[in-house]
């Protein structure tokens, strides 16, 4: 079945574009086997945000006027506001995805999906902050080549590297990041796994097979569950007969997702990974 919603290439399979379950988009209620049983990782209870965050999300995740204004002047205060907005948006997406209502507010247009990507990667408005800062400096520079030598301010940073005290997430370089990928085909799972490791700057290791009689993980037929641990660099593939599709990310006690399998490569432009 091909995706037909706005911004979705018609040739890309639907489950690469949006998490699906039971024929509906992004219900998120059923989790892959082992999510809750292994070190408490990627379990459904992790989808529940602390009450203050949930209350804020219920009130609406639209960025505040103050946050937009702060983005115009990069600095410690604006960085904090941007990261707070980013975490709030990501938690709001997760809560709505768990209830099966994330499609319209977060995934229904290219702009909304880009906003979600920006929140995950750079912190909401951090990209804008960098560009505004760069443009200002470029206009003031007399050297026409100055644009290539001006570096982005420190506010451009992966949001998952920043602390989230409510979930016990330190954001340190050695902090454990867990990925759980559920897909209808190992090829989609492998693409998503490769893309997420590249975007989050995590070590990419070839997946091993935990399917009896199948030595090569890339030869597993049917639905799969791929699990990855950034610290142990363990990555394995097992069978998955459920109907969820997407990528779960575990940061400390906080779970985010399911994100679409093609979140970082919607048109499948990148070549397939060679494992």
Structural domains of the chain sorted by starting position, each given as residue range(s) with its CATH number in brackets: 31-48+170-275 (3.30.360), 60-162 (no CATH)
Residue 6 pLDDT exceeds 60:
no
pLDDT for residue 82: 78
> How far is Cα 104 from Cα 178, in angstroms, rounded to an integer?
27
The proportion of the chain whose per-residue pLDDT surpasses 90, expressed as a percent, equals: 45
pLDDT at 39: 38
- Cβ atoms of 172 and 160 within 8 Å: the answer is no
Q: Work out the burial of residue 269: count CB atoms within 10 Å of its CB; fewer than 13 is exposed, 13-18 middle, 19 or more buried.
A: exposed
Q: What does DSSP assign to residue 120?
A: H
- Least confident residue range of 42-51, 59-68, 141-150, 253-262: 42-51
**Percentage of the chain with pLDDT > 70?**
59
Q: What is the rounded CA–CA span in Å between residue 50 and residue 37?
A: 22
Q: Who has greater pLDDT, 133 or 124?
A: 133
- Of 48, 17, 13, 23, the closest CA to residue 253 belongs to 48
Q: Are 126 and 120 in contact (CB under 8 A)?
A: no
């Amino acid at each position: 079945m091909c995706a037909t919603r706005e911004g979705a290439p018609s040739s890309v399979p639907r489950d690469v574009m949006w998490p699906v379950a039971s024929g509906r988009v992004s219900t998120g209620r059923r989790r892959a086997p082992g999510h809750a049983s292994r070190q408490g990782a990627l379990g459904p209870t992790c989808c529940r945000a602390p009450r203050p965050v949930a209350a804020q999300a219920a009130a609406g995740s639209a960025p505040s006027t103050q946050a937009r204004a702060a983005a115009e002047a990069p600095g410690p205060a604006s960085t904090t506001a941007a990261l707070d907005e980013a975490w709030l948006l990501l938690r709001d997406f997760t809560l709505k995805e768990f209830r099966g209502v994330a499609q319209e507010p977060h995934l229904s247009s290219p702009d909304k999906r880009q906003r979600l990507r920006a929140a995950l990667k750079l912190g909401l408005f951090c990209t804008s902050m960098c560009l505004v800062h760069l443009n200002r400096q470029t206009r003031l520079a007399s050297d026409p080549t100055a644009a290539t030598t001006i570096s982005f301010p420190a506010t451009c940073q992966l949001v998952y590297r920043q602390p989230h005290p409510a979930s016990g997430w330190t954001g340190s370089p050695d902090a454990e990041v867990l990925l759980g990928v559920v897909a209808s085909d190992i090829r989609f799972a492998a693409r998503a796994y490769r893309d997420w490791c590249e975007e989050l700057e995590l070590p990419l290791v070839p997946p091993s097979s935990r399917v009896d009689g199948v030595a090569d993980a890339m030869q597993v037929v049917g639905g799969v569950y791929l699990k990855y641990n950034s610290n142990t660099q363990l990555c394995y593939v097992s069978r998955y007969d459920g109907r969820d599709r997407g990528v779960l990310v575990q940061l400390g006690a906080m779970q985010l997702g399911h994100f679409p399998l093609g979140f970082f490569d919607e048109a499948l432009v990148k070549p397939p990974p060679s494992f």
